[in-house]
Chain A
Amino acid sequence: MTGAELTIDLLAKHGVDEVFGYPGGAIMPIYDALYGAPVKHYLTRHEQGAGFAAVGYARSTGRLGVCLATSGPGATNLITALADAMMDSVPLLAITGQVPTAAIGSDAFQEIDVLGMSLSCTKHSYMVERAEDLAEILQEAMHLAQSGRPGPVLVDIPKDIQMAQVPFKPWLAADEYLPKLDLNQVAIANQLLSEAKQPVAYVGGGVHAADAQNELMQFLNKTQMPAVSTLKALGSVLPDYEYDLGMLGMHGGQAANLAVQECDVLVCIGARFDDRVTGNLAKFAAKANVIHLDIDAAEVGKRKPAKASLIADLKTSLPALECVVTPKAWCDHNKQMMVKHAWRYDYPGEKVFAPYLLNQLSQRMPSTSVVCCDVGQHQMWVAQHMKFNHPCNHLSSGGAGTMGFGLPAAIGAQIARKDDFVITVSGDGSIMMNIQELATIRRNNLPVKILILDNQRLGMVRQWQELFFEGRYSETNLSDNPDFVQLAAVFGIAGQTITHANQVDDAITALLNSDGPYIVHACIDDKENVWPLVPPGAANDEMMTEKAQ
């Protein structure tokens, strides 16, 4: 068996039956082994598209995503997707071809030090130096990507090793070091909970990574503790939970941010006190004792000290927390705040109001739908105005904030979940970053829906220029955008443009009823901003609101 055949064989043995990639000279033996193999390959039109499709595949299922690329520019084009997966803890395996071993270090054609480049954007990475190590490395790589805190792993395989005869060596994962719950810390946490008058659960992406939604909901249902979510956690707290306060942070809801600022105990469940969540860190939950639950010890105390740290799998640590019922006065207060600060959809004027459109779409689409965002204003509107019942139904580039994420991520999600309604919500800036992937949708007849909220601007940057740069709109005007419906039509994708509020309901109907891919290009007000907004350097209770403007 050649190294290339072994690579495909091991993927199949590991249960990987769908991969994404783009061939090239240094990975041709692996592509030759793919020919007729049981592992189905999806050709994207750019390696970054392959990387994000694999991320979308992984995030929408919890399974390993796999992407392939050739050496040099093929591998460099994967880097952004690897960085994105690193920031958002996505189980991803990237396999790159490398020039033959003898040519490494000679500045050969399409030779780049991919291993060196990978160091800052992978959980771990390898370059295979000996053919006899290939089997072990691949098996370890797949294990590492999915174990502990998940993340991207890269395996760079020189072409001669792909072509060499290699032995298969079964590899058994060593007894993995999994942190054990410190019972003293559990006792401290439970003491804090028993004394808490105003506790809040701060829910992060770790709940999805640990597949711990059930454990989370058991804890919340028993305690009735008000819960706030990070962008990545949205969907972890079920939408019918009475004290779900929604997203916190820079564009979080006022009820969510105020609850955290007022709380006396903050139970951080698989989150990392990201700067977009905390605003001014010194003023974030300043009165609270923190109980931090995470599988990654390096996150505890990294940004905010914890009184109690439960470093373990959330499936173990969440049930260890005592379910003390939250004082009713605090619950009632938060319910009142939710009513007081509820989102409003009564938009004056005839233009399309993006929050209303997204809220209507959310109410009308099946509950199993997957929404893949790009990055910018539309991403925040999705987070604010759409409801999700599982984090695998809301794919948004959180830590890295990568424009161009949405379309290829939706392709990966649609391939992973063929029977589900999958839609990418994008902006007129972001959609152009991986627009070539319309060809992948067409090639595979994927019924991916596309909603472009077009303000002819890089909207979030424009908003900041308006608010914080004295209206100096440097390079954010995109009024020379192409006609997106015509553009989609060139790829054989039908669609429509809407410009008025009275077209919204019919456009959603068209999205929901179309059998194949479909695009709705919604022209929105170029001056519309995302509210509320915690300005840079401010505390989360110093939110700017539309009313105040």
Chain B
Amino acid sequence: MKHNLTIALKSQSVAIERFLRVVRHRGFDLTHLQLNMDDGQYNMAMTVDSDKPIYLLTSQLNKLVDVKHVTLQNLQQQAV
């Protein structure tokens, strides 16, 4: 199932790498990524695909120190 996420990250140079590593390692395929630097932070729009429930990814992403927020766009798909 595909999920759309918007994410704000601190503008640390390694933040995106760290973030994407977690996406891959936790078993989610990246199918779309848009990245902008605005107001001193990275803003990302991302689509991921996986058989796994999305909260298994968002809960891991929310732990990252560089992550300011993770928002799931299609909330109806967030089967907890």
Contact = CB atoms under 8 A, between A and B. Distances in A.
Interface of A: 115-116, 119-120, 123-125, 127, 129, 144, 296-298, 300-302
Given A296-B63, A297-B62, A298-B63, A119 B80 contact: no
A349 B13 CA distance: 64
A298 B25 contact: no
Size category of the B interface is 10 to 19
Contacts of B25: 120
B14 A119 contact: yes
A297 B57 CA distance: 12
Nearest 4 CB-CB pairings of A with B: A298-B59, A124-B65, A119-B21, A298-B60
B80 A301 contact: yes
B18 A119 contact: yes
B56 interface: yes
Nearest to A124: B65
A115 B13 CA distance: 11
Contact of B55 (A123, A127, A301): A301
Contacts of B59: 297-298, 300, 302
B17 interface: yes
Nearest to B60: A298
B5 to A, nearest CB: 16
B65 A144 contact: yes
A115 B14 contact: yes
Nearest to A299: B59
Given A124-B65, A144-B65, A301-B55, A119 B17 contact: yes
A411 to B, nearest CB: 31
Nearest to B57: A298
Q: Which of B18, B60, B62 has the most CB of A within 10 A?
A: B18
Interface in B28-80: 55-56, 59-60, 62-65, 80
A302 B56 contact: yes
Given A301-B55, A301-B80, A302-B56, A120 B62 contact: no
A396 to B, nearest CB: 25
Contacts of A129: 13
A127 B14 contact: yes
A124 B63 CA distance: 10
Contacts of B60: 298
A155 to B, nearest CB: 13
A7 to B, nearest CB: 20
A251 to B, nearest CB: 28
B61 to A, nearest CB: 9
Given A301-B55, A301-B80, A302-B56, A116 B17 contact: yes
B23 to A, nearest CB: 12
Contacts of A116: 14, 17
A144 B63 CA distance: 12
Nearest to B25: A120
Nearest to B65: A124
7 contacts: A115-B14, A119-B14, A119-B17, A120-B25, A125-B14, A127-B14, A298-B59
Contacts of B62: 297-298
Contacts of A297: 59, 62
Nearest to B19: A119
A439 B65 CA distance: 39
Contacts of B55: 301
Contacts of A119: 14, 17-18, 21
A300 B60 CA distance: 11
Nearest to A115: B14
B6 to A, nearest CB: 20
B12 to A, nearest CB: 8
Nearest to A151: B63
A301 B78 CA distance: 13
Contacts of A302: 56, 59
Contacts of B17: 116, 119
Contacts of B13: 129
Nearest to A116: B17
A527 to B, nearest CB: 40
A294 to B, nearest CB: 11
A116 B16 CA distance: 11
A319 B33 CA distance: 45
Contacts of A124: 64-65
Contacts of B18: 119
B62 to A, nearest CB: 7
A120 B13 CA distance: 16
A297 B55 CA distance: 10
B59 to A, nearest CB: 4
A92 to B, nearest CB: 16
